[in-house]
Structures are given as structure tokens and as C-alpha cells.
């Protein structure tokens, strides 16, 4: 059995998307922002489907929903309000934000408390991708900033590279994907790296419509590319990490490194908010922690609590080991690798640089 994909804008219709077999089709990621003029409900549904079946190079999925953490956001906002007066500036980092739609909801909630005194940063591992193709060709590959191939589009097929179709269900797709990867995608990337003139590259921003609008119109909202296993790049009063510190994605050793980086980036007295759930409207299992006395103290719990609660509470500020004495040294090396979304300027710009 063959499984074709959605590879052009004209196919983003119910005739091509709905039904048991059609609903299983992969959608080319460079169509993500071709949905801007769709009704918001249709746009969110189709973009959600794109992300649900797509995985980053590190194996994590970008699956997300509108109002996914609605009740937990209320609990988190109340904790933030209790910890920080409404008349002071507050810096917030929302890590692992996927396409930013849940970040926008959290931003709106905190804006109602702090107004322009809120400085909000959302981030994800690979929010900006690139399309590489030969000029005038419909065949193309989607790569991340590290030039890992994530998706291959060769009409009528769309192949996800990291989590492809199941071999037993779609053996012909498995064979074709292997052949196309070796005979087309890899040679194309070699040609791109060699600077061949007929190979072109363009950027795809995997950010929802509201997130891109916030980046373009609000001075206190920005979106950056950030890896939780990299040294922290800035200090924050509040750090939120939802549906990212999961044992299904990472080992305990890796998660300890991520939690340590978050701890180093958090100001003394700052709050760390973390949790996970299955989909919008389901209970969040998580917790809210305060950095105090060189450790993270649990203030609030939700559901069954965070699955990495033991790692969070094991963190200690020990100078010379995991403590904040190392922060400035780490920051110098990390800042030059962090890149930020700017809706008004094509391409990348370094964090902290002016538009």
C-alpha cells in the first residue's frame, strides 16, 4: 500500500485532509504559514495535525493545542502574582514552546497583571526550519538550522525522516523513502553546501499566527531558538517548561542536565513552573518551585506532580559544580549561538541585537 502526502497549498482542503486514510497523510512543513488566511479554527486544526506527526532531530514532537494548560496557567499566574508585585518588571522564559500558541495564552494572562513591565521570551529547539531545493523544482527537503534532514517532499510523496511510516503498514513507502534519501536528498544537500547556484534555500517559521503577530507588534514578546541542554543565555524571574521534561524523550541524566541549566538561569527567589498532560482539557501533572537558599523548594502541586520532581528537588547551588558561579562563564559562550525571531527582518539575528 502507498501513502501519498499533502505537498501543495491547493491540497489543504477537506477533500484531501478528511477521512480515515487521508487523515494519516503527512503534510509538507513549508505549507505551515500558507494557512494565514484560513478561519482560525481551521488553521489551528490543520497546523496541529502538521505538528502532531512531525519530530525534531532529537526525537521530541511539537504536538500542541490551543488552551492546552488553561487551568494550570491560572494556578501558575496566581503563584507568580504572589511572588512578584504587579508594579515591578518581571522576566519570563517559556521553554519548549512548540509553535508558541500556549506561550501566547500564558503571555496574555501575565500581561493582564504586569502590562508593559512583563518581558516575555518563548523558545523551542527548532522553531525555524529551511527549505532547500533546486530552482523551479517541486521536489525539496526540509532541514533544521544544523542541516539535519527532517522531511523530504517529492510529489506525490511527503516523507518524515525521524518518525516515518511504519514499515509493516507501508513497505513501499519505506523503500521509496530510503531510495529518495540516498539518490536525491543527500546529493541535494551536498550541492547546497558546495554552493551550486541553482540550489536555493528559504526559511520556514514554525510559529502560529498569533505568535508571529506578537513578535511583530509587541516589544516585550520575543521567540528564540534554544536547546535545554545548552548553557543558559539569560537570567529570568520565572521559567516555565511544559511537556518537555519527559522521561519518554530523555534519560534521567539528560533531564538532570536540563534542570540544572534551568536552575542556573533562574534568579534567586524566582519560580520554576513545569508539568505535562496529554491534550487540551486534561489534568496537568506538574509543580511550581521557588529558588531559595540554593535549592528549588516546591510551592504547589497539580495532579500527580512532575515526573522529574525528584531531580528538581535534588538540585543544589554548589560553587564550582552546578552553582551560579559558573553562569557568567557559560553565558559568554552561549549567547553567540542563540538566535531570535524577528517578524520585520528576514533571516536570523543574534539575541540582544537590535532590529
Dist. CA 299–CA 289, nearest whole Å? 5
Contacts of 214 (CB under 8 A, 6+ apart): 100, 104, 107, 221
Neighbour-count burial of 261, counting CB atoms closer than 10 A to its CB (0-12 exposed, 13-18 middle, 19+ buried): buried
Average pLDDT over residues 247-259: 93
When pLDDT is cut at 50, 70 and 90, the band that residue 236 belongs to is very high
Q: What is the mean pLDDT of residues 129-140?
A: 97
> How far, CA to CA in Å, does 330 sit from each of 116, 200, 323?
30, 35, 11
Q: What is the pLDDT of residues 293-327, one digit of tens each?
A: 999 999 999 999 999 999 999 998 765 444 444 44
Give the mean model confidence (pLDDT) for residues 132-154.
Answer: 96
CB neighbourhood size of 7 (10 A): 22
- Name the residue among 119, 140, 331 with its Cα closest to residue 214: 119
| pLDDT higher than threshold 90 for residue 235 | yes
Confidence (pLDDT) at 337: 38
Q: Which domains does the chain have, with CATH numbers?
A: 9-54+128-204 (no CATH), 70-127+207-350 (3.40.50.150)
Distance CA 208, CA 235 (A): 26
Q: Is the pLDDT of residue 49 over 80?
A: yes
- The confidence score (pLDDT) of residue 108 equals 96
Higher pLDDT, 170 or 265: 265
pLDDT of residue 55: 77
Residue 280: predicted pLDDT: 67
Does the pLDDT at position 62 exceed 90? no
pLDDT at 239 over 70: yes
Contact 33/215 with Cβ under 8 angstroms? no
| Total residue count of the chain as it appears in this document | 355
pLDDT at residue 19 above 70?
no
Q: Between 138 and 20, where is the model more confident?
A: 138
Crossing angle (nearest 10°) for helices 327-335 and 252-265? 100
Q: Residue 347 phi/psi, 5° resolution?
A: 85, -165
Summarize pLDDT for 282-296 with one digit per residue, the tens.
Answer: 889 999 999 999 999
pTM of the model: 0.85
* Terminal alpha carbon distance of the chain: 50
Mean pLDDT confidence for 59-76: 80
pLDDT, the chain, mean: 86
Cα–Cα distance for residue pair 60/125, rounded to 1 Å: 9
* Strand ranges of the sheet holding 149-154, from the earlier edge strand across to the other edge: 157-160, 149-154, 140-143, 128-134, 199-205
DSSP bridge pairs for 123: 224
Report how far apart, in Å, the C-alpha atoms of 187 and of each of 1, 58, 66, 137, 222 are: 28, 23, 39, 15, 36
Mean pLDDT confidence for 236-265? 94
Residue 65 — very low, low, confident or very high, per pLDDT cuts 50/70/90?
low
Amino acid at each position: 500500500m502507498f501513502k501519498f502526502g499533502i505537498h501543495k497549498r491547493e491540497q489543504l482542503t477537506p477533500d484531501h485532509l478528511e477521512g480515515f486514510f487521508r487523515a494519516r497523510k503527512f503534510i509538507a512543513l513549508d505549507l505551515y504559514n500558507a494557512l494565514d488566511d484560513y478561519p482560525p479554527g481551521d488553521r489551528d486544526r490543520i497546523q496541529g495535525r502538521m505538528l502532531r506527526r512531525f519530530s525534531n532531530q532529537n526525537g521530541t514532537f511539537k504536538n500542541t493545542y490551543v488552551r492546552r494548560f488553561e487551568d494550570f496557567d491560572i494556578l501558575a499566574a496566581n503563584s507568580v502574582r504572589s511572588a512578584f508585585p504587579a508594579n515591578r518588571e518581571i522576566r519570563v522564559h517559556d521553554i519548549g514552546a512548540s509553535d508558541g500558541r500556549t506561550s501566547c495564552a500564558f503571555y496574555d494572562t501575565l500581561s493582564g497583571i504586569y502590562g508593559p513591565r512583563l518581558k516575555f521570551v518563548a523558545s523551542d529547539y527548532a522553531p525555524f526550519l529551511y527549505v532547500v531545493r533546486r530552482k523551479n523544482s517541486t521536489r525539496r527537503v526540509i532541514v533544521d538550522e544544523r542541516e539535519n534532514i527532517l522531511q523530504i517532499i517529492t510529489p506525490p510523496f511527503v516523507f518524515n525522516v525521524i518518525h516515518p511510516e511504519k514499515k509493516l503498514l507501508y513497505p513501499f513507502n519505506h523503500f521509496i523513502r530510503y531510495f529518495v534519501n540516498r539518490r536525491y536528498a543527500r546529493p541535494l544537500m551536498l550541492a547546497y553546501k558546495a554552493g551550486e547556484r541553482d540550489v536555493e534555500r528559504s526559511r520556514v517559521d514554525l510559529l502560529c499566527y498569533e505568535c508571529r503577530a506578537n513578535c511583530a507588534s509587541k516589544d516585550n514578546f520575543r521567540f528564540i531558538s534554544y536547546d535545554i541542554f545548552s548553557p543558559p543565555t539569560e537570567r529570568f524571574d520565572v521559567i516555565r517548561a511544559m511537556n518537555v521534561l519527559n522521561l519518554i524523550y530523555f534519560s534521567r541524566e539528560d533531564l538532570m542536565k536540563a534542570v540544572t541549566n534551568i536552575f542556573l538561569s533562574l534568579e534567586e527567589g524566582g519560580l520554576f513552573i513545569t508539568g505535562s498532560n496529554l491534550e487540551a482539557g486534561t489534568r496537568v501533572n506538574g509543580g511550581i518551585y521557588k529558588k531559595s537558599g540554593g535549592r528549588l523548594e516546591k510551592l504547589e502541586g497539580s495532579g500527580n506532580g512532575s515526573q522529574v520532581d525528584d531531580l528538581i528537588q535534588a538540585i543544589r547551588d554548589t560553587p564550582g559544580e552546578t552553582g551560579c558561579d559558573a553562569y557568567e562563564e557559560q553565558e559568554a559562550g552561549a549567547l553567540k549561538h542563540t538566535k531570535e525571531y524577528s517578524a520585520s527582518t528576514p533571516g536570523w539575528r543574534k539575541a540582544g541585537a537590535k532590529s
